Amino acid sequence: MRIVEDRNEAIVREAFDALFNKRDYAAAERFWSPDHIQHSAHIPSGRERLFDLVQSQPPGRAEARSLSGLPMYGDDFPEER
């Protein structure tokens, strides 16, 4: 069962890296449905609304170090790859 969990984790990491770190919207389209349902009260539903939100943020925002010093997505920061 760990193989399936590892694969799922890799997919999520790839999706978040494509959208939030690389801002590769074409690649991110593979992971988010056009009918994406957003559960945040501050973001409208729909893939394009999510992408619009990411595009509206200054570059590097998702790459910022957290208070804990740990990356938000993955095991390392993009500049450490």
DSSP state, residue 37: P
Q: How far apart are CA 67 and CA 4, in angstroms?
A: 31
pLDDT band at 77, cuts 50/70/90?
A: low
Q: How far apart are CA 32 and CA 15, in angstroms?
A: 8
Residue boundaries of the structural domains of the chain: 2-74
Give the total residue count for the chain.
Answer: 81
Tens of pLDDT, residue by residue over 5-60, are 999 999 999 999 999 889 999 999 999 999 999 998 888 999 999 999 999 988 76
